[in-house]
């Protein structure tokens, strides 16, 4: 069985968070002990962990974005999530797309705010 991308990213995030926590502990201990070399080494480890976490966050965002891409075969431009909502609401994709367009128009005209309709 192949590993899921989200599981790998999650495991890496946990590992990096633990590394950062250790580095932060080392930093505080060496700072209090007034050990300049150990303090600088720990500070560098924190910066490295932060950079790796930021890179991992970019990977995670790309993964999420790729999963949200609209299917090529849907002629109404609905995402997979929107298709599921339409189906659960007993609407056709066309009906859902029309309702979605109406909502966007109402928002643009100021008739819709926070789910409330103003007349």
> What are the per-10-residue average pLDDT scores of the chain (119 residues)?
80 94 97 96 96 91 75 74 89 90 83 63
Q: What is the pLDDT of residue 119?
A: 55
Q: State whether 52 and 26 are in the same domain.
A: yes
- Close Cβ partners of 27 (under 8 Å, ≥ 6 residues apart): 39, 42, 43, 45, 46
The answer to whether the beta carbons of residues 88 and 106 sit under 8 Å apart is: no
Q: State whether 9 and 63 are in the same domain.
A: yes
Q: State whether 57 and 96 are in the same domain.
A: no
pTM beyond 0.75: the answer is: no
**Strand, helix or coil at 73?**
coil
Domain range for 99: 80-117
Q: State whether 84 and 63 are in the same domain.
A: no
**Strand, helix or coil at 117?**
strand
Q: State whether 42 and 88 are in the same domain.
A: no
Query: Does residue 74 belong to any structural domain of this protein?
Result: no
Q: State whether 92 and 44 are in the same domain.
A: no
Q: State whether 63 and 89 are in the same domain.
A: no
Report d(CA 31, CA 103) in Å as an integer. 57
Q: What is the pLDDT of residue 107?
A: 80
Q: State whether 55 and 102 are in the same domain.
A: no
Q: State whether 57 and 88 are in the same domain.
A: no
Q: What is the pLDDT of residue 103?
A: 83
């Amino acid at each position: 069985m192949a590993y899921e991308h989200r599981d790998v990213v999650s495991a890496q995030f946990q590992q990096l968070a633990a590394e950062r926590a250790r580095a932060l502990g080392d930093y505080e201990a060496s700072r209090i002990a007034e050990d300049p070399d150990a303090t600088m080494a720990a500070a560098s480890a924190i910066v490295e962990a932060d950079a790796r976490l930021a890179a991992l966050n970019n990977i995670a965002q790309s993964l999420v974005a790729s999963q949200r891409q609209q299917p090529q075969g849907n002629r109404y431009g609905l995402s997979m999530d929107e298709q599921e909502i339409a189906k659960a609401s007993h609407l056709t994709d066309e009906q859902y797309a029309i309702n979605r367009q109406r909502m966007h128009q109402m928002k643009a005209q100021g008739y819709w705010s926070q789910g409330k309709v103003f007349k």
